[in-house]
Structure 1
Amino acid sequence: MNLLALGLFVPGIWLPMFALKSEMGAWFGQGRLTADLVDKELSILQTVEELWRDDRLLVAALIFFFSVAIPVIKTLLVSLAWYWHKLGKGRKLADWIAAIGKWSMADVFVVAIFLAVLSTDHAETTATQAINLFGLRIDFEISSATLSTLGPGFYYFVGYCILSLAASQLLHFSLRRQPAADQM
């Protein structure tokens, strides 16, 4: 289960987590002008890279730490604890993994942040304006629309979060059922 979780983790951080498109338009009479303000798809790693380039170093580091580093370390530790479990050891490591498991929930928090960003889905604003030019009144409408969608990376990452949590909990419970004398 842990290896399957790792298999979901890799595309979860590489594939686009979400797509964001923002468009502005102006309508006057029969004419229409539009411009794309934002049109991008970002994965977790692309988000970290973009934040780093924009000198938002703390946010970039936190997202990298909680969404990439901690999940990798936790996955490696669960694998190591499972291996030691096969040797009749591993309870202390499993207990430690369970203790830091609460910190690994920060990756779920990152997904929640992405969902908050996605809450702008189909947000539209429209304003009617008028210009008087040489005694001629020109009415026009200016509007902006934001469309956000989930990308495949989101689903892979959520799958990783669920499987990783299940794998560490199963390991912890299976080691708890063993007699303490068999542990490290």
Structure 2
Amino acid sequence: MRMPELAVSRLGGDPAVDFFNTVDWRLDPERRSERLTSYRHALAWLRQLELLASADADRLASLAAAEPERAAAEHSRILTLRDDSYAALVGDTSSPAALGRELPETQAASRLERGDDGAWSWHPRTLDLATPRHLLTLELARLFASPAVSGFHRCEDRHCGWVFLDTSRQHNRRWCSSADCGNRNRVRAHAERARLAATTPA
């Protein structure tokens, strides 16, 4: 089954952070745009981030076609998980309530496996329509528990809303993309300075 075409950003520096950046112009109600518009879009995103094997994504797409109502419910839970976790990390809410609700079910449906590097990690026991939600829950739980989350930062463009882990040497990264939001805001600031200079009496 052919997967949807999907633009994927990796500017976040972590798959769980990139998950938040599946909304464009999050802080601008007039331009806000959702990339994960269906369950199959979530599958395509997971596959492109290599969190889900292509064969598993195709199998889940077939299951979704057979059970569209359940797939739609899973899609809704995925978006709730994403947006509630985002709100907690940017300080709009006090805790990631949706993640807390999803974790018990996810852990019950998962098992610990040891990787080639000796590290242990959680993996879903079976493949079913809940697998994408479980995978994303595990990724978000890992992020929230990681010391790296101290570098979590929201792009300083007033409309963007994208986020990233600031790993710069001086910890002074301001923009999701220096060439995009950074350049646009520098141009805006320069134009404002020029306007003020032109209207200020000598």
User: The TM-score by the shorter chain falls in which range?
Assistant: 0.3 to 0.5
Instruction: Report which of the two structures shows the higher radius of gyration computed on alpha carbons.
Output: 1
Q: TM-score, normalised by structure 2?
A: 0.32
The structure with the greater share of residues assigned to helix is 1
Which structure carries more relative contact order (alpha carbon 8 Å, separation 6+)?
1
Name the TM-score, length of structure 1 as normaliser: 0.34
